[in-house]
Amino acid sequence: MKDIDDATRRNAAVIELQEKILDAQQAQSALIEKARELEKEVLAARDALVEWIAKRTVRCDDKGPDKVHPDRRIGICFVEGKELNEWLVRQGWALNFEPYAKGRYLAAQRDAEKNHRADSDVTGDEVRSQLCVPKTSSVLIA
């Protein structure tokens, strides 16, 4: 009887492991699909930015080293006098990202949401969590 109980437990363990593997494969497929969708959005944002800049004059003001990553520089760029970050937010390609934005792009984000150029339900924390980006990093967000 002991052999039957052991075999039953092993079979149950194998079935449980198979279910976990199936769940992991489904989760992986969902992540791959999200990554493909994100890649399409990133490429669309890049193409829109390239088209907007085209042959216009771009000027970037150096604001010094990043406090978290001192090997990086902070800059604010302008295309013929229009701030690049503000344009990205207004077009729905980026978010007003606190605490770094300090509210500078809230009006642009509201305009993008009002005119259906942005997903009004998406927050910086949500973007960060979906991309597995730590709170100290920034991603495609003004």
Q: pLDDT tens digits, residue range 76-103?
A: 899 999 999 999 889 888 888 887 788 8
Instruction: Give the position of tokens 């509201």.
Output: 110
pLDDT of 121 higher than 70:
no
Strands (E) located in 66-104: 73-79, 82-83
The closest alpha carbon to 12, from 20, 25, 24, belongs to 20
Q: Is the pTM of this model over 0.85?
A: no
